[in-house]
Structure 1
Amino acid sequence: MEQTERVAIVTGGARGIGAAVARRLARNGVAVAALDRDGDGAAAVAADITSTGGAALAVHADVADETSVQSAVSRVVDKLGAPTILVNNAGVLRDNLLFKMSLDDWETVMSVHLRGSFLMTRAVQKHMVAARWGRVISLSSTSALGNRGQSNYATAKAGLQGLTKTLALELGKFGVTANAIAPGFIQTDMTRATAERLGIEFEEFIAASQAQIPVGRIGLPDDVAALAAFLASDEAGFISGQVIYVAGGPTD
């Protein structure tokens, strides 16, 4: 297929922040592959984009599986063209206090967030290097600063910040930038799951969180998508190795 001007892969693109990022990039003229284990969800996002005149592809894949990642990236190259924008957004929660956390809880979170981002970035970077232009955007979290009941998630999100800074050092000479976005409270299915874990009604959870946010509202997926779209643009070419918090106020 004829190469479009820019091709992006958004992992975890079936819902929430990933879906919002995919739609925002598409509105900016980027061809987008929504990659997710939820193939039906990814297909719905891709269909929404194409229905409004954008170019999109749904890709069913597991970011933690090397063969699946390689096949997925090859499919994107065949259908859309070589990807030069990668948004590492795929993530899972397995929250629990340390003494209750199982090894599987720990390893599942590490596998999706860290192994997945490593495998995806390694598979896509060769296309960025060849193009002498690329953008790697990874989703961290304010939880990277520490969060009760999330020793696995906090560690994984902090690890993504280290990966981001290292990628910036290694890939910068090829015209590739790497940055991390660290959202605070964003209203998604994952934050709903956190409320359920805490035994709190979601509306009550939202109200309590909003009261602590200086701007006086909770975050939405589109708030994150707006920053991701900027970091993926030509205008952001001198921003690299940064962790940018999207939390409605200062962070520690």
Structure 2
Amino acid sequence: MRKSIASYFTISLTICILLFVSLSNDKAFDISKYSTKGLVLNYTVNQGDSATFGNLSSEKESKLFSPHLGKSFVGFKEALAFKESGGNYFTVNSYGYLGKYQFGKETLKLIGIYNTEKFLNDPALQERAFIANAQRNKWILRRDIRNFVGKRINGILITESGILAAAHLSGPGSVKSYLRSYGVDNFEDGYGTTIEYYMKRFSGYDTSFLKPDKKAKANSV
């Protein structure tokens, strides 16, 4: 009996010694490496009124929810609209230019729009107007596009999108004068924006979507 008790004690003591040695040789587990202190946490649910998609706190955040448009045609017209009006369909500037793309009343008449109040309150019509006007300008400037694209004027590479953006700013006649004078006749609008600036700012976009159309109308686009 005593021998059995002694054996049980010896085995238990041996196990304890082995456990102690094993644990004393292991490195301590450092949980501080897994702390979230100082990290900005991302949430997939609303954290309150200040964190809704419609109330983004910075330009950087807003870009997270915008598609990458690059040099596409949509990128071209949206970049131009942002420069013209900040992308606001319902604005009228101090010179009376209207909407997202800042159209003048006379230009609207050329593409079949006579009711400016209706135009200002109809985003879909404004989009059609942009395309119709660009198609009309592309037809008027077709020879200049063919003759000048790929050349440089005052160090600026001439591209089709730059020409069409400049025509939106100043009208196709002024763009012809700029190109054919090799930059000497550089139209400037009431806010000091020049053809040359638009040629550079809107260079290199894909405007192949636009087909030259002498009789383009907003209602038929």
TMscore range, shorter length: under 0.3
TM-score, length basis structure 1: 0.21
Which is richer in strand? 1
Bigger radius of gyration among the two? 2
